[in-house]
Structure 1
Amino acid sequence: MKITVPSSKKLSSVPDEDVDQWGSRFLMRSEEDLSFPHHPQHSKWSSRGWCKPAYIPISIILIMIILVVLLPLLEQSENWNEKLKLDGLSCQNSCRISLVESIPEGLTYPPEAPKFPSTYDTWNQLINISQSSIEIAALYWSLQGADVYPHPSAYQGEDIFKNLLEASAERNIKLRIAQNSPSRDMPSPDTEELVKKGLAEVRSLNFARLLGGGVLHTKFWIVDRKHVYLGSANMDWRSLTQVKELGAVIYDCPCMANDLLKIFNVYWDLGTEEAVIPPRWPQTYSTEFNMVKPMNLTLNGVRANTFLSSSPPPFCPGGRSGDGDTIVDIISKSEKFVYISVMDYIPMMIYTPRPKYWPIFNNALLAAALNNTVNVRILMSSWNHTRRAEIQFLKSLEEVSGSYKNVNIEVKLFRVPATPDQQKIPFARVNHNKYMVTDNAAYIGTSNWSGDYFVDTAGVGLVVKPSISNRKKNPLPIRDQLQSIFERDWNSPYASRLSDLSHNDISSMFLDQTTNLNYF
């Protein structure tokens, strides 16, 4: 900032020579002056002192000029410090977190098995407690049975859609939706209805224009800027009754909600027709929370470090950890085990015109198993749309087991049973989970594990770790619970060891290899 000081003649009647004296004696005091500060001749009121009465007006005026210039800056700094204090306080709030599941009809566990709130109940609760706003990022919307396939089990999705309509129409809840651009293969009739009725603001992201490919694969809710849901469930009635899903809900946590809102705002602002991805995102989109500096929260009474990761890299403003980098970091910092439950696992880019090798996660898992003797378990889904290449890559990973002492990589395939009636429902009866749990971290994401989802497709991840102070003293319940879900599924009759399956067993899995899943 350039500051212009008026001429001294206009400020005072002090002669020029006095001003020169003031300048030479105040600004350039000699070594002799500084050596004897208490000598009478150096008194500040003496003839050689720097506080002659004639200099006082100039001093006052200069002080006033400095104050005029600096006070606004000091006030701005004070406001900024106060903002940081408020942000810090909001992060100190005691938040509640719970795992959330959709268990498909007909898939049962023993009574003593871990059980958590359903996605349907959780979404309904979020709608019911909303007071001002609901903001949702989703791949597509098909909550009504007529959207996909008429079936009695569509009632839960239809109920969610009805409750969202009523929340907007009757309680004036502001509903904002960011979604992938609808297409013939992936329409969103529900959001069309919401817009026609004037009950929601909807923006659609055109990834072909923005990035040349990919989709908005994210699935999360932000309610009143303080409650959050994030997980694998699409805004689809099948995700409530016919597909196995896993997510997390966090209540009364404005710090987390507002950080997730920054990701939503990236989607929202890229959802206009003229939008382009900026070479550098403005500061308002940036975050201070990431894998290096997580937010420290109290979750269910226990201190924890947590942050949100995002993909693809061009959608990550300053400070935001990339989703792929986050997964690799969690694997590399595991000490005892890495358990992964995903619909797809393949070290390839599979949605590009020509498949490309993408070994990032494969390398991380091999390094963990071979270098650190970490026990690796992968529970991948088996359904009509499983790719043969996935099985072959998983076999190659499993072959590494036993190559050296204490090297252990195990693979199982999880298959959701289906009746003849349920088999008629398209793209259903599958384990759609996308999470990882290690001995020191819980990760819940929205992406399948192939390279495309971390290069040009939008997704988010929630990471929760014990705080440094609590790591040895107190366990982290949410991590323990996620591990219990994995072990429940791993040891269930629905999971089969890949090594135990015959060639005929594997061949029978691939009933439909012609359909393009289009990032289901």
Structure 2
Amino acid sequence: MRASGSERPGLELVESSPVETTLDHADIPDAWQVWPEMVKGATRTLDVAQFYVSNAPGSRLEPVIQAIEVAADRGVKVRVLAEEKFYAQYPETLERLAKRPGIEVRRLDTAKVFGGGVLHAKYFVVDGREAYLGSQNFDWRALEHIQELGLRIRVPEVVRSMADIFEQDWALAVGAAAPRTAAVSGPFPASYAGSTVHVTPAHSPEGHLPDPATWDLPKLVKLIDGAKRSVRVQLLTYKAKSRDGGPFPELEDALKRAAARGVEVRLLVADWGKRKGTIEGLQALHAPPGLTVKLVTIPRWSGGFIPFARVVHAKYMVVDGEQAWVGTSNWERDYFTQSRNVGVIVEGEAFANQLERFFQDTWTSPYATEVDPKATYTAPNISGTP
């Protein structure tokens, strides 16, 4: 699916796969190679928005960080925006970048500015002409020990929708007024694998979007309600509740409505969902006919335990092999109503079919097992602490 120069498609799937697994795809480029290439192509501006930044010596993220530093050295204006809540846990790389001339770093206290939530989006914009969004955090683990999925985007209006969000959040991080922007709701035509597809921005949270029409939750419900044959969803976590325990029926009810009218609904989630308070909802969701839930467990790395890794983290949906969503949100209420996330909806078989193959490869892999509605599950130790 690769092209070069001006022939590069308007959309390009980009993945990360855990080393020592069978989940890598030869026809999908890897983020650890795509990211430095994009950064090296910057000539004027580079705007990076991330949940947090966590590097490690010799990791696949180090060349990305170095490319950002070199971009600043050659005169590119670099802005990095990260979530305030995680700064204390991962300060080193942000501090390193902030010390570099030509790089400005800000932290967004999302809970204070939005009244809750976090900056959970993971994206960057190069020269206002291309962008990347996906499930990968700027975390060395996301490039070698986690299954992830994202998009390299060269659709001008979609890139602008992400640039508008960055400008708004960049201003809000220092208490400034958000700049005015024009509507960018879409859909917009794009090239993918020699075919024309249509791309619609789909962002969150409600009430804090430069263009309110880009709110993602009603778009996802509409996609599911329009399904005739199949719905495929993969996420890190799924829960029909908010963090405070309140109900979040919108997506779950849509999935159940689809199954009730004969649509084959399949949901893949990480085994982190075995924890109490989450697994019960997955077990209940697995019960109706036509609705199947699988948990995915990635084996431990041969080099030893890695905290917060060896997991599937991709976030996407495919409907009828014709329409798709790729984003940064897990499916819990707060991701849509309080936290900053970005994504796109893509209409077109060429794109949806490749995404469905990506889903199928994980669904049929030895790492995926059906949820047992009657089992008692033990949550994996993801941090490594007793």
Q: CA deviation at 1:164?
A: 1.2
> Is the deviation greater in 192-201 or in 446-455?
192-201
Coordinate RMSD, CA, aligned: 2.4
Verify the 8 A CA contact 2:301 2:310 in the aligned structure 1. Answer: no
Counterpart position of 2:210: 317
TM-score (norm 2): 0.91
Verify the 8 A CA contact 1:114 1:488 in the aligned structure 2. Answer: no
Counterpart position of 2:249: 359
Q: CA deviation at 1:394?
A: 1.4
Counterpart-to-counterpart distance in 1, 2:102 and 2:173: 18
Counterpart position of 1:391: 279
Verify the 8 A CA contact 1:446 1:460 in the aligned structure 2. Answer: yes
Counterpart position of 1:409: 291
Counterpart position of 1:254: 156
Q: CA deviation at 1:237?
A: 0.7
Shift in alpha-carbon separation, 1:297–1:513, aligned structure 2, 3 A: closer
1:311-460 matched pairs, under 5 angstroms: 311-350=204-243, 352=244, 355-370=245-260, 372-383=261-272, 386-401=274-289, 408-419=290-301, 421-423=303-305, 425-439=306-320, 440-460=322-342
- Secondary structure in structure 2 of the residue aligned to 1:238: helix
Verify the 8 A CA contact 1:311 1:460 in the aligned structure 2. Answer: yes
Counterpart-to-counterpart distance in 1, 2:190 and 2:44: 24
1:295 to 188, 191, 195: 188
Q: CA deviation at 1:333?
A: 1.5
Q: CA deviation at 1:114?
A: 5.9
Verify the 8 A CA contact 2:266 2:293 in the aligned structure 1. Answer: yes
Shift in alpha-carbon separation, 1:419–1:257, aligned structure 2, 3 A: closer
- Secondary structure in structure 2 of the residue aligned to 1:311: coil
Q: CA deviation at 1:126?
A: 0.3
TM-score (norm 1): 0.68
Counterpart-to-counterpart distance in 1, 2:359 and 2:336: 23
Q: CA deviation at 1:289?
A: 1.9
Counterpart position of 1:140: 52
Shift in alpha-carbon separation, 1:183–1:259, aligned structure 2, 3 A: closer
Shift in alpha-carbon separation, 1:286–1:136, aligned structure 2, 3 A: same
Verify the 8 A CA contact 2:296 2:369 in the aligned structure 1. Answer: yes
Shift in alpha-carbon separation, 1:212–1:260, aligned structure 2, 3 A: closer
Counterpart-to-counterpart distance in 1, 2:221 and 2:109: 29
Q: CA deviation at 1:390?
A: 2.1
1:511 to 378, 381, 385: 381
Percent of pairs with identical residues: 30
- Relative to its length, the structure with more helix (as a share) is 1
Counterpart-to-counterpart distance in 1, 2:88 and 2:98: 20
Counterpart-to-counterpart distance in 2, 1:144 and 1:514: 18
Counterpart-to-counterpart distance in 2, 1:193 and 1:512: 27
Answer 1 or 2: higher relative contact order, Cα 8 Å, separation at least 6. 2
Counterpart-to-counterpart distance in 1, 2:314 and 2:127: 27
Counterpart position of 1:130: 42
- Relative to its length, the structure with more strand (as a share) is 2
Gaps of 5+ in 2: 1-6
Gaps of 5+ in 1: 1-92, 146-153, 402-407, 467-475, 516-520
Q: Which digits, 9 at most, give the CA deviation of each residue in 1:98-153, with x for residues without a partner?
A: 2111111111259xx664100101101102222222111111111234xxxxxxxx
Verify the 8 A CA contact 1:323 1:454 in the aligned structure 2. Answer: yes
